[in-house]
Amino acid sequence: MNPFRTTSAAALICLSLPQAGALEITAVNPLPTPRAAQTIEIPAASLAPLGEADLTKIHIRDAKGAELLCQAVDLDGDAFRKPDAVIFQADFAASETLRFTASKGAKQVFKKEQYKAFGRFNRERFDDFVWENDRIAHRTYGKALETWEGEPLSSSTIDIWSKRTPRMVVNDWYLADDYHVDHGEGADFYSAGPSRGCGGSGLWAADRLWLSRNFVHSKVLANGPIRVLFELEYAPYEVNGVSVAETKRISLDAGSQFDRHEIRYKTYTRPGQDVVLAPTVGLKKAKGESVTSDPAKGWLAKWEPVEKGAGQQGLAMIAPAANFEKITEDALNHLIVTKPREGNTAVWWAGFCWDKAGHFTSEDAWKSHVASFAASLDSPIQVKVGN
């Protein structure tokens, strides 16, 4: 049984069988506010009445009959690499209901310009894993960086790559190898170092943060055009006298400023030893930052100068209210400590914006978006499949 849950933000109900070879999909925004780029996830079981086992042959159309970009996604990462769901996106007005149809057809083949999410392991850059969507980009560090003679670094941080273009850039930036300079599309201005960067994890015990080293294995489960989804494995590390290993699953959808992080922990204990984990997410402290938090809603946001004088940026982290424990800090980071979910897992969201990208150009605009995003997590798009 896969320990990870689906990454969808939509609640789904499967109704009746199709007519005329198509399934009707009804999606409702329950909030009195507009919601852009909402990902709708339809499980394979709900699509079964179409009689097509290969989900890459499923097509989605809107109420006017226009075909929408959709992606078959492998959610469980099993050995067969078989997709478990189909996802697509839509923009919703306040309290709006939208209707779509699903049907079977030719296998989906995407063009490069259709990709709005992408990620890859990069051995040539000391085992980086890098990922992006049409809004933001990140990287985190693999094992080879720990022993690089030029600039060794042991850190499970999440780095920021600031971009101001919707196109996929990480391959080109690595190719040119000059990504610390802005040539018109953005650059790597951020120095994450040993901090938690933008959403790096740890475990809180004995009034301090315990950290893993660089990831040792990676696996891509889905790679665009709408969602990038991958797993990172970390070797066991000490947490207050107990050895803990972790597998981190990260997803990023098109149009989103936020990554979803889900972590599964495995403890190595002696018989009878009781271990209570406190999964923790962090944001790097920065000079000149302005910090705002809403513990009741589970979020902390900040606004700060970008390094090298490259504008302003906002960062934020959001933990589910049911698992929220407290906000604290250490020398390098602002931290949210959470309660573990069933099975020693943790979930949170973390993300950022850059004012030069043009989407959020002020602290107030960023804080408002963070609050709205947190509210949307509690009120997902309501989806029904059937006639």
pLDDT tens digits, 163-179: 999 999 999 999 999 99
pLDDT value at 121 more than 80: yes
**Which of 147, 129, 146 shows the shortest CA–CA distance to 138?**
129
Chain centroid to CA 22: 31
Mean model confidence pLDDT for the chain = 93
pLDDT value at 335 more than 60: yes
- The whole-number pLDDT of residue 137 equals 98
Q: How far apart are CA 280 and CA 319, in angstroms?
A: 10
Per-residue pLDDT tens for 222-260? 999 999 999 999 999 999 999 999 999 999 999 999 999
Q: Decide if 315 contacts 352 (C-beta within 8 A).
A: yes
- The whole-number pLDDT of residue 13 equals 45
Handedness of CA 321, 323, 328, 331 (dihedral sign): negative
The domains found in the chain, sorted by start residue, are 11-109 (2.60.40.1180)
Which amino acid does the sequence have at 219?
Answer: K
Lowest mean pLDDT among 183-192, 247-256, 286-295, 338-347: 338-347
Alpha carbon dihedral 161, 300, 380, 61, in 10-degree steps, equals -20
Q: How far apart are CA 140 and CA 348, in angstroms?
A: 17
Whether this prediction's pTM lies above 0.75 is answered by yes
* Burial degree of 272 (CB within 10 A; 0-12, 13-18, 19+): exposed
Lowest mean pLDDT among 134-148, 263-277, 354-368: 263-277
Q: Which residue has the higher pLDDT, 11 or 280?
A: 280
Which amino acid does the sequence have at 313?
Answer: Q
- The whole-number pLDDT of residue 79 equals 64
Q: Which residue has the higher pLDDT, 66 or 21?
A: 66
Q: How far apart are CA 138 and CA 167, in angstroms?
A: 15
For residue 321, the number of C-alpha atoms closer than 13 Å in the C-beta half-sphere is: 11
| Tokens standing for residue 142 | 């693999």
- The whole-number pLDDT of residue 220 equals 95
Lowest mean pLDDT among 20-24, 139-143, 215-219: 20-24
Other beta carbons less than 10 A from residue 171's beta carbon: 13
Q: Decide if 151 contacts 192 (C-beta within 8 A).
A: no
Percentage of the chain modeled with pLDDT above 70: 94
Mean pLDDT of the 61-83 span: 90
- The whole-number pLDDT of residue 4 equals 53
**Which of 191, 276, 193, 264 shows the shortest CA–CA distance to 234?**
264
Residue 5: band (very low, low, confident or very high) from pLDDT cuts 50, 70, 90: very low
